Amino acid sequence: MTEFPWPAGSATGVGSLPGTDVAEAQRLIFGELPDLPHLAELPDRGPGADLIGRGAGFLVDMPVQLYAGRWQVAPRPGRDLRRTADLLERDLDQATERGDGFAGTFKIQAAGPWTLAASLDLPIGGRLLRDPGAVRDVTDSLAEGLRRHVAEVRKRLPRATVLLQMDEPMLPSVVEGRVPTESGLGTYRPVVAADAAAALRTVVQAVGVPVVLHSCAPRVPLSVVRDATATAVALDLALLTELDPLGEAIDAGLGLFAGAAPATGTTASSAEVATTVRTLWRRLGFSDARLAAQVVVTPACGMAGATMPHVRSALGACRDAGRRLSEH
pLDDT, mean of residues 46-53: 97
- Tell me, what amino acid is at 253? G
pLDDT, mean of residues 248-267: 96
Beta bridge partners of 235: 258
| Confidence category of residue 328, pLDDT binned at 50, 70, 90 | low
For 84-119, write each residue's pLDDT tens digit.
999 999 999 999 999 999 999 999 999 999 999 999
Q: Would the pLDDT of 184 be above 90? A: no
CA distance 321 to 276: 10
Q: Collapse the DSSP code of 65 into the 3-class scheme (helix H, G, I; strand E, B; otherwise coil) and give the result.
A: strand
Mean pLDDT estimate for the chain = 96
Query: Residue 124 burial by CB count (10 A; 0-12/13-18/19+): exposed, middle or buried?
Result: exposed
CA distance 238 to 260: 8
Contact 175, 119 (CB under 8 A): no
For 282-326, write each residue's pLDDT tens digit.
999 999 999 999 999 999 999 999 999 999 999 999 999 999 999
Contact 243, 284 (CB under 8 A): yes
Neighbours of 112 (CB within 10 A): 28
| Confidence category of residue 1, pLDDT binned at 50, 70, 90 | low
Distance linking the first and last C-alpha atoms of the chain: 17
Query: Residue 43 burial by CB count (10 A; 0-12/13-18/19+): exposed, middle or buried?
Result: buried
Distance of alpha carbon 5 from its chain centroid, rounded?
A: 16
- Listing DSSP states for 227-258 in one string gives HTT-SEEEEEGGG----HHHHHHHHTT-EEEE
pLDDT computed for residue 183 by the predictor: 82
Domain boundaries, the chain: 46-230
Q: Would the pLDDT of 256 be above 70? A: yes
